[in-house]
Structure 1
Amino acid sequence: MADWDGRGLPPVAAERVRRAAAGGAWTSLLSAPAAAGLTDAGFDPVGEVMGSIVERIGWQGYRGCGWSPFGGAYGGYGGTAPTITSSDRAAFSGFAPYVAALEHGYGTAMSRLVQEAAAIGADGVVGIRLVQDRMEGGAREFTALGTGVRARSGTRPSRVFTTALPATDVAKLVRAGWMPTDLVYGISVAIRHVDWSTRQQMSWGAGNVEVTGHTELVTRVREDARHRFTAHVRGTGADGAIVDDMALATWEVEPAENHRDLVAESTVFGTAVARFHSGRAAPSRTLTYLPLR
């Protein structure tokens, strides 16, 4: 087999698509209720699709938190340290390349999933699971896995829609006059030096007090992730978005002796949606898909 040049689908994926496009039995990740709900909403499953990429992510461009023991604009002994996000253009902001690498990993996995879906004649992919797994040597695998579906209609969409929503929720949306368009996300990383006031608030005997520096850090990083999420939604041209998952991870780094920084990473994932009817009343009811328990 010839070496793959990185363009298009990997050879193994291309062969899997060829077999799926040739016909025969299809596979899906749908539960029985999900498949029934999609069928009633006018969609048929056409096959399981996926996309993946293994990417090595380093810390190129990292220049610390901006704190200096000699004072100045970025604080000193007894001063208040700034919170710097990956979207800031400050001189010491060094996480933009890291966030760009994460976005490239997720984006490439999604792009290859969409290529597979289009190749087997799908109009959309539902129930997408977007996963990031760490590997040896600083590498990470980004994987997108979902079920391709095709509308029972003579009119085909201009591009494949994608959503992390389960198929039952997609059926409810469609029956209510809304259409998922894109799986969207926002990612931000922020850093803040553990300054004097933060150390005092975290010291033994401080009591039950708010650690204001950490509050500012997690608030800023979540705010920036939501801003990036909103920008992604606007870029799709959709009317709005349904947030599917919000996560926050924090860790501490010690770039030098007696110098500790706290890093926070925030992610927001969801589905952009567009309305396809103009009336106030929905074209149909969704009671059929509510669990009768």
Structure 2
Amino acid sequence: MSDQWDGRGLPPVAAERVRRAASGGPWTSMLTVPSAAGLSATEFEPVGEVMGSIVENIGWRGYGGCGAWGGGFGGPLGPMTPVPAFAPYVDALRHGYDTALHRMQLEASGIGADGVVGVTLAATPFDQGSREFTALGTAVRSRRAHDRPPRPFCTELAGQDVAKLLGAGWLPVSIAYGIAMLVRHDDMRTRNQVSWMGGNTEVTGYTQLVTAARAQARKDFAGRIRAIGAEGAIVSAMGVGMHEIEPSENHRDHIAEATVFGNALLAVDHPTTPATTSSLTFLPLRPTRETS
């Protein structure tokens, strides 16, 4: 096995893992006990754990100007600008997440899976300016005879949640996410509110910034759900972070980065009905006429 790899397809070590899994033998799973038990009520069974990863250097974030750019000082709260120059940084994040998910799905296809459940998608600081994007989950295969999909579905949802959705006629087909970055110029009012003389007060500019960033991320998320062709989505996580930059001496701007992650849903023609469990048999502990 050669260690040389051109970045296309699966890394050699992942391809070797697929070869071993496809050859048979015991399978491994990342499912918890409740998740595995829930999944057993559906047509799907686990066939192995799968993973996709990429280490990406993010050296150019694409912005170094003032948040007042393009907006002036119009308005009592100061301007807030979605700067197009942030695109290189956002594109780098998308490339990392998409590549990790794609490689995980390639590995799932290699072992004959129909989908991946319980996916953990993460971006971890790796080195100076680098991040490792990882997607890790449990590949599952349908017990029914059918043509394998060209691309396995994937979801962050646990097995019991997948079973409930299938029973209601929904399949979580894909993980989707939205990303937004906004910059806001720190005007005089904001600087006064964050100073020690401002006391315990709301920083209205920062509230406006994070609220707008979340709204923009949700809009991006909804657009990606439509692009997938899904009929709806379940939001699994929302996050926002804010940091300051100093584009010039004694002058600050604040940047908010918001993300929304979720699972795109598609109606299925043949919902899987969860297995009916028998009622629990119990004996009364209080005296009855027969025992008293």
Structure 2 length normalisation: TM-score? 0.87
Range 45-54 or range 208-217, more displaced: 208-217
Instruction: Choose which of 256, 259, 263 in structure 2 pairs with 1:264.
Output: 256
Instruction: Choose which of 153, 158, 165 in structure 1 pairs with 2:144.
Output: 153
Q: Deviations over 1:106-153 (max 9, x none)?
A: 000000000000010000000000011112221110000000001111
Aligned to 1:75: 73
Instruction: Choose which of 170, 183, 198 in structure 2 pairs with 1:206.
Output: 198
Residue 238 in structure 1 maps to residue 235 in structure 2: no
136 and 2 in structure 1: CA distance in 2 versus 1, 3 angstrom threshold: closer
**Structure 1 contact 190–263 (Cα < 8 Å) conserved:** yes
SS in 2 for 1:94: helix
**Structure 2 contact 42–274 (Cα < 8 Å) conserved:** no
Q: Specify the code of the residue in structure 2 equivalent to 1:246.
A: M
Aligned to 2:59: 58
**Structure 1 contact 172–286 (Cα < 8 Å) conserved:** no
**Structure 1 contact 49–113 (Cα < 8 Å) conserved:** yes
Aligned to 1:255: 247
Cα distance in 2 for partners of 1:188, 1:65 equals 18
Q: Deviations over 1:239-265 (max 9, x none)?
A: 100000111111112232111111111
Shift of 1:5: 0.7
Instruction: Choose which of 114, 127, 131 in structure 2 pairs with 1:140.
Output: 131
Aligned to 1:89: none
10 and 196 in structure 1: CA distance in 2 versus 1, 3 angstrom threshold: same
RMSD: 2.2
Shift of 1:227: 0.8
Q: Specify the code of the residue in structure 2 equivalent to 1:65.
A: C
Range 224-233 or range 248-257, more displaced: 248-257
**Structure 2 contact 42–163 (Cα < 8 Å) conserved:** yes
Aligned to 1:226: 218
1:5-84 counterparts in 2 under 5 A? 5-67=6-68, 73-75=71-73, 81-84=78-81
Cα distance in 2 for partners of 1:121, 1:286 equals 25
Residue 168 in structure 1 maps to residue 160 in structure 2: yes
SS in 1 for 2:104: helix
Runs (5+) with no aligned partner, structure 1: 87-92, 289-293
Q: Specify the code of the residue in structure 1 equivalent to 2:173.
A: T
Residue 276 in structure 1 maps to residue 268 in structure 2: yes
Instruction: Choose which of 98, 101, 107 in structure 2 pairs with 1:110.
Output: 101
Cα distance in 1 for partners of 2:232, 2:216 equals 18
Cα distance in 2 for partners of 1:157, 1:223 equals 38
Cα distance in 2 for partners of 1:146, 1:65 equals 42
Shift of 1:94: 2.3
Larger Rg: 2
Runs (5+) with no aligned partner, structure 2: 278-292
Q: Deviations over 1:12-42 (max 9, x none)?
A: 1111111111111100001222222212211
234 and 157 in structure 1: CA distance in 2 versus 1, 3 angstrom threshold: farther
Cα distance in 1 for partners of 2:71, 2:227 equals 36
**Structure 1 contact 250–264 (Cα < 8 Å) conserved:** yes
SS in 1 for 2:8: coil
**Structure 1 contact 123–148 (Cα < 8 Å) conserved:** yes
Structure 1 length normalisation: TM-score? 0.87
Aligned to 1:193: 185
**Structure 1 contact 121–150 (Cα < 8 Å) conserved:** yes
Aligned to 1:124: 115
209 and 9 in structure 1: CA distance in 2 versus 1, 3 angstrom threshold: same
Q: Deviations over 1:166-188 (max 9, x none)?
A: 11111111112111110100011
